[in-house]
Amino acid sequence: MSASAHAVVADLRDRIRQFDGRALRDRAVLPFGVPEIDEKLPGGGLALASLHEVCGGGNDAVEGAAAMLFAAGIAARTRGQVLWCLTRPDLFAPALAQAGLAPGRVLYMEANDEKSLLLCLEEGLRHGGLGAVVAEVARLSMTASRRLQLAAEAGGTLGIALRRFRHKREVGAFLLPTAAVTRWQVSVAPSAPLPVPGVGRACWRLELTRCRAGEAAEFEVEASDAEGRIAFSSRLADRSPAAGHGRLGASA
């Protein structure tokens, strides 16, 4: 019963989309290349013509370095130029290059206030010639995010709102809903110890806290590599059952 109901709903959804005339474009997605994550996302990846939200979790909320590299990894896997809007110029470009985003592809825009930043972000999304637009924003209201989502749909461009806070107490503002299609929270996790002295590949705890037409999920992943790809953490295989979260069997 439930399986056939799902099929009926999916069919209806498809037909509504065709009336909308957005069927083809909406189906374009950017998969992570990690089956465990992609199967949780409707369509099997991040929808290209949409706005996504990424924020740092835990101690990383203010610096947002992990969230930034996560966004850079996604942008690196799109095609074409990337517009990166920021309000504080503390981003270190060589790190972006190490996450797969070559310097020739990134166009930086330094706005002096959030209002002009959002305007330029919308402009970039609507233009349609860019691969992705990433913007470091502190506040994102429902109205603003809806505008951005419409602009992303119109331009067929992937938008990433990289939520960045000036103080830890502002983190609460992130709980307010926005029109973004997905919302990711990236926090750092201790890396797997290496058999030799040294630092291994960084690990992130990736929480999909909101996903339109999907469910929330949580993953443990290894950070973006030089092509911008994240990898599913191999550590889950030898983790004790108490620390796991029900996905133990998947990678064992």
Binding site for another protein (CB under 8 A): 58-60, 63-70, 80-81, 83, 90-98, 102-112, 116, 119-120, 123-124, 127-130, 186, 188-191, 193-194, 197-200, 202-204, 223
Give the residue with the Cβ less far from another protein, 74 or 189.
189
For the bound state, the minimum distance from the C-beta of residue 247 to another protein, rounded and expressed in Å, comes to 19
Give the residue with the Cβ less far from another protein, 40 or 105.
105
Q: Could you give the angle at the alpha carbon of 224 between the alpha carbons of 219 and 230, nearest 5°?
A: 40
Cβ–Cβ < 8 Å for 97, 53 = no
Give the residue with the Cβ less far from another protein, 30 or 85.
85
Give first-to-last CA distance, the chain, whole Å: 32
Give the residue with the Cβ less far from another protein, 2 or 112.
112
For the bound state, the minimum distance from the C-beta of residue 73 to another protein, rounded and expressed in Å, comes to 10
For the bound state, the minimum distance from the C-beta of residue 76 to another protein, rounded and expressed in Å, comes to 12
For the bound state, the minimum distance from the C-beta of residue 69 to another protein, rounded and expressed in Å, comes to 4
Burial grade of 169 (CB within 10 A; 0-12, 13-18, 19 or more): exposed
Give the residue with the Cβ less far from another protein, 99 or 178.
99
For the bound state, the minimum distance from the C-beta of residue 203 to another protein, rounded and expressed in Å, comes to 6
Contacting residues for 93 by C-beta, under 8 A, at least 6 apart = 103, 106
Beta-bridge partner residues of 30: 46
Indicate if the alpha-carbon torsion angle 216, 220, 223, 227 is positive or negative: negative
